[in-house]
């Protein structure tokens, strides 16, 4: 479940009493992935996968339990499963699904507590280089602030923000920040205006999805419909906040110096 390498890292960081932010992000990512895989192996696969859900459904499954536990990602460091399970235990303390989730949570409780102990020792200081630098230090020359994510990013020959916000995790470049290809916010608000339009479209689409899916009774929804509804509801909940933020940015925008001119 938790690899020996990760356990040794946790022990070493606790003993050191300090962890650099870059090391914390790597540890957290690895640990969360292992916790999620453990949850799937312990709870999702043996108790909640479709054959078991269908069998339980014939005996009258409580979909509150399935919804709460099937789509959980496990007791990650940043997500507290305790409240979710405790709430279910008030009504379904003896239900086998709830018991499985509780058993798994207890089995990994110490590693989560240890990780949170380490989290409290994060330092924002730059981690010292372990080897001599082979590339030049990055400078603020020819950079600008992305109109969408706010990062300081290099500009291309036309002064536009270059690619960033992508991942190479799968062996190729995937995804990009919505601010790529626009002038930095110091020069133009066009990137923010474009993104605001996309946010409004996403909210409208999500509201339509919620309305359509909710027409089907909860117990009759397919797994795909439940996932679609969950994602749409999240957009409906959070998009208005971002819309308000970008409306303010656009309303208050005025040209300013680029970073290399303002130093």
Task: Please choose, from the candidates 229, 208, 237, 232, the residue with its C-alpha nearest in 3D space to the C-alpha of residue 67.
Answer: 229
Query: Do 194 and 116 fall into the same domain?
Result: no
Query: Do 30 and 97 fall into the same domain?
Result: yes
Query: Do 54 and 165 fall into the same domain?
Result: no
Query: Do 38 and 75 fall into the same domain?
Result: yes
Mean pLDDT per block of 10 residues along the chain (263 residues) reads: 87 92 90 86 70 51 68 69 83 82 88 92 83 75 92 93 74 76 96 96 96 92 90 92 95 92 60
Query: Do 20 and 110 fall into the same domain?
Result: yes
Q: What is the pLDDT of residue 139?
A: 85
Please report how many Cα atoms fall inside a 13 Å half-sphere around the Cα of residue 253, on the Cβ side. 18
Rounded to whole angstroms, the Cα distance separating 110 from 2 reads 11
Number of domains in the chain: 2
Query: Do 8 and 80 fall into the same domain?
Result: yes
Query: Do 113 and 156 fall into the same domain?
Result: no
- Tell me if 85 is assigned to some domain: yes
Query: Do 225 and 152 fall into the same domain?
Result: yes
**Where are the alpha helices (H) located in 93-177, listed in sequence order?**
96-119
Query: Do 258 and 164 fall into the same domain?
Result: yes
Query: Do 96 and 186 fall into the same domain?
Result: no
Rounded to whole angstroms, the Cα distance separating 171 from 173 reads 7
Could you give the 3-state DSSP secondary structure of residue 212? helix
Could you give the 3-state DSSP secondary structure of residue 124? coil
- Tell me if 137 is assigned to some domain: no
Rounded to whole angstroms, the Cα distance separating 151 from 184 reads 10
Query: 37 near 11, Cβ under 8 Å?
Result: no
- Which range marks the domain in which residue 9 is found? 4-123
Helix (H) or strand (E) holding 143: strand 143-145
Q: What is the pLDDT of residue 51?
A: 47
43 CB burial (10 A radius; 0-12, 13-18, 19+): buried
- Tell me if 134 is assigned to some domain: no
Query: 34 near 73, Cβ under 8 Å?
Result: no
Rounded to whole angstroms, the Cα distance separating 144 from 214 reads 44
Q: Which two structure tokens, joined as six digits, stand for 146?
A: 């992305």
Q: Is the C-alpha dihedral spanning 179, 184, 186, 191 positive or negative?
A: negative
Domain boundary (57, 89, 123) is at: 123
Q: pTM for the whole thing?
A: 0.52
Query: Do 249 and 148 fall into the same domain?
Result: yes
Query: Do 8 and 116 fall into the same domain?
Result: yes
């Amino acid at each position: 479940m938790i690899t020996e390498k990760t356990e040794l890292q946790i022990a070493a960081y606790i003993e050191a009493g300090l962890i650099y932010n870059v090391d914390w992000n790597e540890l957290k990512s690895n640990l969360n992935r292992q916790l999620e895989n453990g949850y799937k192996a312990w709870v999702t696969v043996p108790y909640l996968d479709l054959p078991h859900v269908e069998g339980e459904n014939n005996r009258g499954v409580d979909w509150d339990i399935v919804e709460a536990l099937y789509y959980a990602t496990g007791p990650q460091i940043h997500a507290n499963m305790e409240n979710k399970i405790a709430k279910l235990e008030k009504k379904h303390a003896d239900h086998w699904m709830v018991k499985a989730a509780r058993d798994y949570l207890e089995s990994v409780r110490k590693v989560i507590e240890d990780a949170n102990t380490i989290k409290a020792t994060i330092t924002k200081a730059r981690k010292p280089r372990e080897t001599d630098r082979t590339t030049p230090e990055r400078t603020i020359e020819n950079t600008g602030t992305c109109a969408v994510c706010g990062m300081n990013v290099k500009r291309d020959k036309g002064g536009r923000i270059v690619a960033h916000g992508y991942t190479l995790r799968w062996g190729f470049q995937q995804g990009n920040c919505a601010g790529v290809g626009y002038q930095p916010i110091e020069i133009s608000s066009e990137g923010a205006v474009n993104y605001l339009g996309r946010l409004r479209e996403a909210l409208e689409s999500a509201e339509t999805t919620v309305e359509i899916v909710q027409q089907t009774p909860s117990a009759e929804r397919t797994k795909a419909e439940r996932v679609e509804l969950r994602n749409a509801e999240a957009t409906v909940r959070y998009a208005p906040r971002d819309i308000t933020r970008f409306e303010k940015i656009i309303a208050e925008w005025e040209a300013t110096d680029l970073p290399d001119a303002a130093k």
